[in-house]
Amino acid sequence: MVRIAGPVLGIESSCDETAAAVLDPDGRILAEAVLSQEAEHAPFGGVVPEIAARAHLAHLPGLVGRVMERAGLAYSSLGGVAATTGPGLIGGLIVGASFGKGVALAHGLPFVAVNHLEAHALTARLPGLVEGEAPFPYLLLLVSGGHCQCVRVDAVGAYRRLGGTVDDAVGEAFDKVAKLLGLGWPGGPALERLASAGDPARFAFPRPMKGRPGCDFSFSGLKTAVAQEVARHGAGALPAALAADLAASFQQAVVEVMADRARHALAMAPQARLLVVAGGVAANGAIRATLAGAAAAHGARLVAPPARLCTDNAVMVAWAGIERLRLGLSDGLDAAPRPRWPLEDMAGVT
Ligand code: KG4
Ligand code: ZN
> CB neighbours of 188 closer than 8 A, spacing ≥ 6?
145, 171, 174, 175, 178, 280, 281, 283, 284
Which of 281, 312, 316 for a ligand 1 pocket mutation test, highest count of atoms within 8 Å of Cβ?
A: 281
Q: Which residues line ligand 1 (CB under 6 A)?
A: 15, 144-146, 171, 174-175, 186-189, 192, 279-281, 283-284, 311-312
- Mind listing the pLDDT tens digit for each residue in 29-50? 999 999 998 889 989 988 899 9
- Mind listing the pLDDT tens digit for each residue in 102-158? 999 999 999 999 999 999 999 999 999 988 778 999 999 999 998 999 999 999 999
Distance 201 CA to ligand 2 centre (A): 32
User: How do beta strands 29-36 and 17-23 pair?
Assistant: antiparallel
SS3 153: strand
pTM attached to this predicted model: 0.93
- Selection from 312, 314, 324, 311 nearest residue 67 by Cα: 314
- φ, ψ dihedrals at 81, nearest 5°: -125, 130
DSSP class per residue in 276-329: EEESGGGG-HHHHHHHHHHHHHTT-EEE---HHHHSS-SHHHHHHHHHHHTTT-
| 8: β partners | 23, 80
Residue 178 CA: which ligand 1 atom is closest?
A: 14
How far apart CA 237 and CA 301 sit, in angstroms, is 43
- Mind listing the pLDDT tens digit for each residue in 271-324? 999 999 999 999 999 999 999 999 999 999 999 999 899 999 999 999 999 999
* Residues 236/182, Cβ–Cβ less than 8 Å: no
How far apart CA 325 and CA 61 sit, in angstroms, is 24
Which of 16, 140, 174, 258 for a ligand 1 pocket mutation test, highest count of atoms within 8 Å of Cβ?
A: 174
Residue 349's pLDDT is: 54
Q: How many residues does the chain have?
A: 350
- Mind listing the pLDDT tens digit for each residue in 88-99? 999 999 999 999
